[in-house]
Amino acid sequence: METITDLIKGVSVPRMVKIREVFDDTHIPVNMIADMVNAELSREALGGQVKPGMRIAITCGSRGMSNNAVMAKAIVDFVKSKGAEPYIVPAMGSHGGATAEGQLQILKDYGITEEAMGCPIKSSMDTVQIGLSGVRHQPVFMDKNASEADGIILFNRIKPHTSFRGPYESGLMKMMAIGLGKQKGAESIHHQSPAIMHELIEEYGRTFIDNVPIIRKEMESFLRVMLYIKKPKRILELGTAVGYSAILMSECIDEDGKITTIENYEKRIVEAKKNIELSGKGQIIELLEGDATEVMKTLPSQQFDFVFMDAAKAQYIYFLPEVLRLMKKGAVLITDNVLQEGDLIESRFVVERRDRTIHKRMREYLEVVKNHEELETSIVPIGDGITISVKK
């Protein structure tokens, strides 16, 4: 204290006034938390995606939050109620000493154990590469156990970050980019400039979203309706992903129908083959590997009466000539994700620089399909926007 006294000697101390701040105490009572979690997950857009028999990974992070274990258990119970098989994966980057055991201990300290949750906790530092980041083309990694799930429920708090500002700070996007990336993913981001952290979180997070694509619920319903109306015998799909949409379409056509689906990404191909085999639809679904443009050139003309295009968005304009060659007269072409969450109506100068190429090419694609002499096309604003085209 003598040192401090000497430092402030001669310093005029202003008059101090005591202030009491009262913070907003609005909260959900603890005994209602599980019911609230269940109610939110029961919304069709969320819970409707969870099907019986699916393996669902539930992420749990390293950041403390009130009633962490209560909410995690509620998510586990909801997944079980849907007839699916839940398991928890630590999604905390390199925390816990960058070891599987250390991350298990963090969860245990929060009361999240296999016994308390009633489901397995799969902790590992092993990762798989799911793609390249959209702007800097860096490898993006994902927890291996999570990558083997049929679906992932991200569970995390959302709040401002203490070190940077951006559209996504601490929350679900960061949990994907860093948390699910484990040590390898965390290092990949943290080795880059802290000044661009806000850009990296979104860039890597969107790579997760783009590389594990599952069609939206409203699109699923629409696709089913179109298939029942059209009753196609031969379907072409561009962009198999993990096989979800091909399996869905196989449930809506006769047993003598055939689906040809094309995928270029090796990791997805492995998962798709496994899912198609488990579905028992292998006799209907044929998976062709390779670049769609090149694969389509090997197929006979005018054989498909239904085409579903949900692949690399910037390539739609280049896929179209071959798609038209393969379509029969009267065939239907459905193209997914054409409105880019509303960005397509904006000037290219308003759109983020990294998104301008896909913005330009998607506008070109819409211009072509709307005015093509062989097509009658309508744009429908469901999901992220689709086009329905009929070959005249």
Residue range 373-383, pLDDT digits in tens? 999 999 998 87
Q: Are 187 and 215 in contact (CB under 8 A)?
A: no
Burial annotation 371-380 (CB, 10 A radius, 16+ → b, else e): eeeebebebe
358/29 Cα distance (integer angstroms): 46
Pick the residue with more confidence: 248 or 69? 69
Would you tell me how many other CB atoms lie within 10 Å of the CB of residue 208?
A: 23
- The mean per-residue pLDDT over the stretch 283-309 comes to 95
Least confident stretch, 22-26, 203-207, 345-349, 360-364: 345-349
Q: Are 60 and 155 in contact (CB under 8 A)?
A: yes
Pick the residue with more confidence: 267 or 192? 192
pLDDT tens per residue across span 32-72: 999 999 999 998 778 877 877 778 999 999 988 899 999 99
Q: How far is CA 256 from the centre of its chain?
A: 33
Tell me which amino acid residue 111 is: G
Residue partners of 266: CB distance under 8 A and separation at least 6 = none
Structural tokens at position 66: 């009130």
- Read off φ and ψ for residue 168, nearest 5 degrees: -130, 125
288/86 Cα distance (integer angstroms): 31
Cα-Cα-Cα-Cα dihedral sign, residues 74, 79, 83, 89: negative
Whether pLDDT at 288 is above 80: yes
pTM for the model: 0.59
91/104 Cα distance (integer angstroms): 11
Tell me which amino acid residue 75 is: I
- % the chain with pLDDT above 70: 93
